[in-house]
Structure 1
Amino acid sequence: MRKLPSDQPHCRLTRQIHCLPVQMRGVEQMAGPEIANLDDRIRQVIGVAVDACGLGLVQKVTGLPLGFSNVNFRVETDQGTFLARLCRTQPDDRIRDEAHFLESIRASGFPASYPIARTDGTPITFHDDQRVMIYEFIEGEEPAVTPDSARQVGEAIGLLSTLEVPAGYSSSSLSDIDEAKQFLITKAKQLEKYPELFSQLQQETAEIESFLQIKLPRGFVHADAFPDNTIFRDGKLVALIDFEDSCEDALLFDVGMTLLGFGYQDEHPEPEQIRAL
């Protein structure tokens, strides 16, 4: 879950939910930057996926830092270097949608790490209760947040908003106002122990819902354009990665997320970076 600037009005509802006792949140907490564990079982699963994609013989597999949703490995074969992603959170249909969209924009040259289909044309390898996707491996690093990196990511998100959502794509936002309202209903008895917080959550939910009556331009959104989901090399953006939360939604969604990711320094808005976006 993203660390949002704590003193901004648009983050109040998220912050208040985070402050609830853990048993009320239903949120799995992640530890620090652990490395994906590689054992014989996972090595075999990755080998099956690589073989299914016709990518040659595996020579070396290295665990990468754990993300919020998946487990990633760098895979070197006699044909090149690839990324193996063990999908742990998203349902199959959402994973297929991600691959479907990325394949639809491949010819555009948009900077991304594109999935590599199996030889049967499907994107997911199912083996030993695991779901594996293979991607291009993009060399580079997470950027420092500067006006220049903000500008480049802003331009990429702007370009992304102009690309057509392909027929058959159906993924919507992972969370919406109905989920927030349902949270208040299902947790009502527990929240009654915190009357001031409960009242504030109700007021802010109603306030947010009132703004949702405004019709906004819709299209494809990445939904998580933070620095750790971008790859830079020699100061240039070479890939926007981790499309696992992507969806069709109001384009303003990506504006807000990119602003949070690249418009702040030390939890405070940075005007020069915001202008660069």
Structure 2
Amino acid sequence: MIVTPSRSELWSTGEQVCQQFELGKIRQLEALSHQGYSNFNARLETGLGTYVLRRYTEQPEERITHELRLIDWLYTQGLPVVPPLRDSKGRARSTPNRDYPSPWVVFPFVDGEQPVPLPAIAHTMGGLAARVHQLPERPRGIQDCENLLSVRSTLTIAQSLRETGTSSARRFLHLIELLTPEVENSSLPTGLIHGDLFPDNTIFREDNLIAVLDWEEACIDHYLFDLAMAMHGFCYIDEEWCPDLARNFLAGYETGRSLEPDERESLPLFLRWTPLAMAGWHLRRHSITPDRRQAGRIHQLLQRAETIFDCEY
């Protein structure tokens, strides 16, 4: 759950961050209008530039270290990522408030916009996914990070929801029983995946991809998981599945990596499993702290998981 700092706490944090990273004096500091479900983000303007301050509110220390090292490594591989700033001692983290030790990390602010669903955008993102899946090596430590939406994690969530009794939980558990046997038995190619390739984790400028953000879910898993997840981000318009966008996404992907026959056959299954796994993640959080926005997202994801996808492209 996001913990939003008070105005005075945010300003105090900004001053200490500016001092640690030698960013000059604050001109403006405010929370970003769009926040995710886990981390708090603010825009910082100083005399030296514009930055994003991120407070990690849920990730354990080792997971944060993994993400920051991975971003640095991806940058050396030519991927459009935004490495964190580091201070004179090489540190990327700042912990200004000892009473609330969640770390803050500073990233350069990248100007641009969240993309709209267009064939060219879908094609570009398919190509980006293939670039990630075709990287020549795996960075150190990535093997230790499990997909937070893995079958094992999702089944653990399902077990915790069996006594919940809500209609959403019942729909989720029914789909778990239906889809899990097929997903568990899949032996498809694996490698580095982003894990959360959605429009709000990308920045475009004039239809050109400028940056891919938020690598905290990156791990080793089936490429098809990443592919299906990204298609849910870039192949829908107003909650309607768009075959033309899907065709363009897959065409872009296969400019860099060809799908194996088993992957092509299993794609409809993973297009149902990925929103189901996301729904489970949201259901667990919603069962602890009910939230209207999250309830709407759960309903949306379960509807997608109930869809039978035609992927004869």
Place the TM-score, normalised by the shorter chain, in its bin: 0.7 to 0.9
Deviation readout 1:17-37 (Å, 9 max, x if unpaired): xxxxxxxxxxx6x9xxxxx76
Residue among 127, 140, 144 paired with 1:167: 140
How far apart are 1:85 and its partner, in Å?
A: 0.6
Q: 1:84 aligns with which of 45, 53, 58?
A: 53
* Consecutive unaligned residues in structure 2, runs of 5 or more: 250-313
Distance 2:208 2:58 in 1: 31
> Following superposition of structure 1 onto structure 2, how do residues 191-210 of structure 1 map, counting pairs within 5 Å?
191=165, 197=170, 201=173, 204-205=176-177, 207-210=179-182
Q: Which amino acid aligns with 2:91?
A: T
- Aligned partners of 2:80, 2:61: CA distance in 1, in Å? 24
Q: Does 1:51 align with 2:19?
A: yes
* Secondary structure of the structure 2 residue equivalent to 1:135: strand
CA shift at 1:190, angstroms?
Answer: 4.3
- The equivalences for 1:30-109 within 5 A come to 39-65=7-33, 66-109=35-78
Instruction: Give structure 1 stretches of 5+ with no counterpart.
Output: 1-27, 31-35
Q: Output the TM-score relative to the length of structure 1.
A: 0.78
Instruction: Note the C-alpha offset of 1:38.
Output: 5.7
Determine the C-alpha separation between the residues in 2 that align with 1:211 and 1:243.
24
**Residue 261 of structure 1: aligned partner:** 233
Does 129-138 or 212-221 show the bigger shift? Answer: 212-221
Partner of residue 212, structure 2: 240
Report the alpha carbon displacement of residue 189 of structure 1 after superposing the two structures with TM.
Answer: 4.1
Counterpart of 1:122 in structure 2 is 91
Counting aligned pairs with the same residue, the percent is 27
Structure 1 residue 109, shift from structure 2 partner: 2.7
Would the alpha carbon gap of residues 157 and 124 (structure 1) be closer, same or farther in structure 2, given more than 3 Å must change? Answer: same
Name the aligned partner's letter for residue 182 of structure 2. Answer: S
| Contact kept in structure 1, 2:75 and 2:82, CA below 8 Å | no
Q: Deviations over 1:210-268 (max 9, x none)?
A: 33222222222111111111111122111111222222221111101111111122323
Which stretch of the first structure deviates more once superposed, 135-144 or 242-251? 242-251
Structure 2 residue aligned with 1:185: 159
Equivalent pairs counted in the alignment come to 241
Q: Which structure's residues are more often helix, by fraction?
A: 2
Counterpart position of 1:272: 244
Q: CA deviation at 1:206?
A: 5.9
Matched residue of 2:154: which SS? helix
What SS is found at the alignment partner of 2:105?
Answer: strand
Q: Which protein is richer in strand relative to its size?
A: 1
**CA separation of 1:197 and 1:75: change in aligned 2, threshold 3 A:** closer
Q: Does 1:157 align with 2:129?
A: yes
* 8 A contact 1:229–1:240 mirrored in 2: yes
Distance (whole Å) between structure 1 residues aligned to residue 47 and residue 175 of structure 2:
59
Whether contact under 8 Å (1:74, 1:82) holds in the other structure is yes
Indicate if the aligned counterparts of 1:46 and 1:132 stay in contact, CA closer than 8 A: no
Distance in 2 of aligned mates of 1:262 and 1:203: 23
What TM-score, normalized to structure 2? 0.69
